[in-house]
Structure 1
Amino acid sequence: MVRVGFHDVPFPAAVALGAVGGPIRKTDIVRTGSGAEVRRARWSGSLRRWDISLGIRNFAEAEEVLSFFEAREGRRHAFPFGDPLDHSSAVGGIAPSPIDQVIGTGDGVQTTFALTKRYGGVTRPIELARIGSVRVAIDGVETQSFSLVRERNAVVFDTPPPAGAAVSAGFLFDTPARFEDDSLRLQLGAKGASVPAIGLVEVRL
């Protein structure tokens, strides 16, 4: 299935490693007459933002970002971005194991389980698991009898996990993102390319 407004072309990995950023939330805060605060979340989850300019260290990388920007038509098309600090189901960004994240409980009928990652009590849907990285277990025992359906952000088992069985998964993943602006500012100096801030923002697919 083709996702409208999305190009499945990863952002240059070497530049992504130098990105600075993280999650953003949107909270309304109203102070009452007594001085107490009433706080209300406007978003159901975080959206992330990064500045990737520090990852551009030479002319070749600036040229690569320029080409990538043009191919995406500025902020028109989203793409997979490898967040250097949050791209693995495992704590610390280490290699995934099949028991990293509990993604459901079998009922003997259900075969499709959405990939998610938990941060304390908060669950984040994973939209772009990397193909070939997903490992799955049923009650702690790894199985190969599943397929990744990336367009549904889910794993689908060949046969339903038995009732009461814990279904878990480990994976690497990218975050869907787009350029924050429709313009780039690049300058060629004596020491190579000079690049002001270039923002990327997370999007929902």
Structure 2
Amino acid sequence: MSFHEIRFPATLSFGSVGGPERRTDVVTLASGHEERNTPWAHSRRRYDAGMGLRSLDDIAMLTAFFEARRGQLFGFRWKDWADYKSCVPSSTPSPDDQIIAIGDGATSSFQLTKTYQSGASSYERPIKKPVAGTVRTAIQGLAQTEGTDFTVDPASGVVTFTVPPQFGAEISAGYEFDVPVRFDADRILTSVASFQAGEVPDVPVVEVRI
């Protein structure tokens, strides 16, 4: 897949609107009851980058970024300011934030994940674009050292331990992460509102599957 490992300027994404979407097929039966099903195992996020722009310099930065990505052609990283940590927004990521796997004594590589829990139900989201240098891990509560005990691929979110964790060992991780996205249009429309201010009313961005 055509993807550039570069983040959309965080100063421009701050103030944008967006969030997760799901696809649900709803069939209403003759009795009035419903049957609901979804073809998606994972949610998909959409954002509007235009909401975060405030000046002509912002528009220039957006235009340069858009042109360098060739519009929709190349994907890129996006910081979702409402959801970019393994912990709650007010906390700092720690090695025990998310349980990502249970060791089997042979497997050494594991995908980073984030679990969303509400009551008895939960959803496990694969994290494919962790921010380099922010990933912390632990095995059975014992913190591991990056570069010595484990490595992480920031392009895939796969953590690889030097020694496979023992059978039954709880493997946990904490991190910051980006969302893999692309522009959802091949054009942007700009307007100069004043000498120092501009406006881009709609810059749609959509998550891509990695």
Q: Do both share a fold (TM > 0.5)?
A: yes
Q: Which amino acid aligns with 1:118?
A: T
Q: Please give the alpha-carbon distance, in whole angstroms, between the structure 1 residues aligned to 2:46 and 2:5.
A: 19
Q: Please give the alpha-carbon distance, in whole angstroms, between the structure 1 residues aligned to 2:33 and 2:176.
A: 42
Q: Please give the alpha-carbon distance, in whole angstroms, between the structure 1 residues aligned to 2:179 and 2:169.
A: 29
Structure 2 residue 95 is the aligned partner of structure 1 residue 94: no
Secondary structure of 1:8's aligned partner: strand
* Contiguous gaps of at least 5 residues in structure 2: none
Instruction: Give the alignment partner of residue 83 of structure 1, picking from 80, 84, 88.
Output: 80
Deviations along 1:73-99, one digit per CA (max 9) or x if unpaired, are 001100000111111001235321000
TM-score, normalised with respect to structure 1 = 0.95
Q: Which amino acid aligns with 1:58?
A: S
1:28/1:39 contact within 8 Å kept: yes
Partner of 1:181: 185
Partner of 1:153: 157
Q: Please give the alpha-carbon distance, in whole angstroms, between the structure 2 residues aligned to 1:53 and 1:94.
A: 28
Partner of 2:20: 23
Q: How far is the alpha carbon of 1:9 from its aligned partner?
A: 1.2
Name the Cα RMSD after superposition: 1.1
* Contiguous gaps of at least 5 residues in structure 1: none
Q: Please give the alpha-carbon distance, in whole angstroms, between the structure 1 residues aligned to 2:8 and 2:155.
A: 19
Structure 2 residue 33 is the aligned partner of structure 1 residue 44: no
Structure 2 residue 20 is the aligned partner of structure 1 residue 11: no
Q: Please give the alpha-carbon distance, in whole angstroms, between the structure 1 residues aligned to 2:95 and 2:165.
A: 15
Structure 2 residue 201 is the aligned partner of structure 1 residue 200: no
Q: How far is the alpha carbon of 1:33 from its aligned partner?
A: 0.2
TM-score, normalised with respect to structure 2 = 0.93
Q: Please give the alpha-carbon distance, in whole angstroms, between the structure 1 residues aligned to 2:156 and 2:5.
A: 15
Q: How far is the alpha carbon of 1:152 from its aligned partner?
A: 4.0
Aligned positions, number: 202
Q: How far is the alpha carbon of 1:198 from its aligned partner?
A: 1.1
Partner of 1:112: 109
Q: State how 1:164-179 maps to structure 2 within 5 Å.
A: 164-179=168-183
Q: Please give the alpha-carbon distance, in whole angstroms, between the structure 2 residues aligned to 1:106 and 1:66.
A: 47
Q: Please give the alpha-carbon distance, in whole angstroms, between the structure 2 residues aligned to 1:73 and 1:32.
A: 46
2:188/2:202 contact within 8 Å kept: no
